[in-house]
Amino acid sequence: MRTAATKDASTKDAATKDAATKVAATGEVATFEVILKIRRNNPEASGEHEAGAGYWQEFRVKVHSTERILDALHTIKWEQDGSLTFRRSCAHGVCGSDAMRINGRNRLACKALIKDLHPSRPITIEPIQGLPVLKDLIVDMEPFFASYREIMPFLMPSGDAPKRERLQSPEQRARFEDTTKCILCAACTTSCPVFWTDGQYFGPAAIVNAHRFIFDSRDDAAWERLEILNDRDGVWKCRTTFNCTDACPRGIQVTEAISQVKRALATHRV
């Protein structure tokens, strides 16, 4: 049963959306105040907020209804607390550098519209899970990229280089089209409960990027990659929880890609 407080918050969220729609019609942009509750962590801190302890800090920010979490983080950094630390580059969902846990779910800060995040309540922002936190919302991505490098994410054709491009039919291309969209944001891997409990697991992103070459008709190293993923820390650790598919900001069918890799290993056919 919904409580009065929940109802009240839903009404406020609906009012925020309504206001945004109305002003969109008139060409104006609505503004409203939002509370961001951010997980802070400073390894060099001492005193009240000791290194590694981590704590929550709230910020009140006035935002436009068209703004995203990344815009609000910028406003805080530029106007309230210059020490707030986070990664970002393109601001348009392309570079994959600003994956973070927003309201308990992995998303790209530059794609998360504030008005869609129940802004009548504080919005929580934390670093992605399962990787060491370096500072505030920044994690050490090295273990993630180490797994990526292990699956040899580059084309390995055999024989001499051809005089012209390597031809491929639309059907051959379609087999790995989905996995070419990966931007290496780590949202999938760091939403995986197996990865949280066992950092040795390759993780969904490495398998997605192996899939991209395993099923490419121009590549001749599929079995080398499959052997790597047949390892005890490879695809068989996947428990098909679908967290990875839900988290992927590119809409990649991550669990399906992992299943195709498992099937290739089980049937000895690519």
100 scored as a contact of ligand SF4 (CB under 6 A): no
- Judged by CB under 6 A, the stretch of 51-59, 85-93, 158-166, 215-223 that binds ligand FES is 85-93
List the interface residues with ligand SF4, window 61-80 (CB under 6 A).
none
What the block records as the tokens of 90 is: 């393109």
93 scored as a contact of ligand FES (CB under 6 A): yes
Q: Find the binder of ligand SF4 among 38, 125, 128, 254 (CB under 6 A).
A: 254
131 scored as a contact of ligand SF4 (CB under 6 A): no
* Pair type for strands 55-64 and 99-102: unpaired
Q: Which is nearer to ligand SF4, 114 or 254 (CB)?
A: 254
**Applying CB under 6 A, what is the total number of residues that bind ligand FES?**
12
N-terminal to C-terminal alpha carbon distance within the chain: 50
Q: Would you say 121 and 103 are in contact if contact means Cβ atoms under 8 Å apart?
A: no
Q: Would you say 206 and 154 are in contact if contact means Cβ atoms under 8 Å apart?
A: no
228 scored as a contact of ligand SF4 (CB under 6 A): no
Work out what residue 53 binds among ligand FES, ligand SF4, none; the CB cut-off runs from 5 to 8 Å by kind.
none
CA 146 to chain centre: 17
194 scored as a contact of ligand SF4 (CB under 6 A): no
Distances from the Cα of 119 to the Cα of 101, 235, 237, angstroms:
16, 38, 37
94 scored as a contact of ligand FES (CB under 6 A): yes
**Ranges of H-type helices in the chain:** 4-26, 69-79, 142-150, 170-174, 193-197, 204-214, 222-229, 243-247, 254-267
| Residue of 21, 10, 32, 246 whose CA lies nearest to 118 | 10
Q: Find the binder of ligand SF4 among 117, 184, 207, 235 (CB under 6 A).
A: 184
Query: Which residues contact ligand SF4 (rule: CB under 6 A)?
Result: 96, 182-188, 204-205, 208, 247-248, 250, 252, 254
Which residues form the interface with ligand FES (CB under 6 A)? Answer: 88-91, 93-98, 108, 110
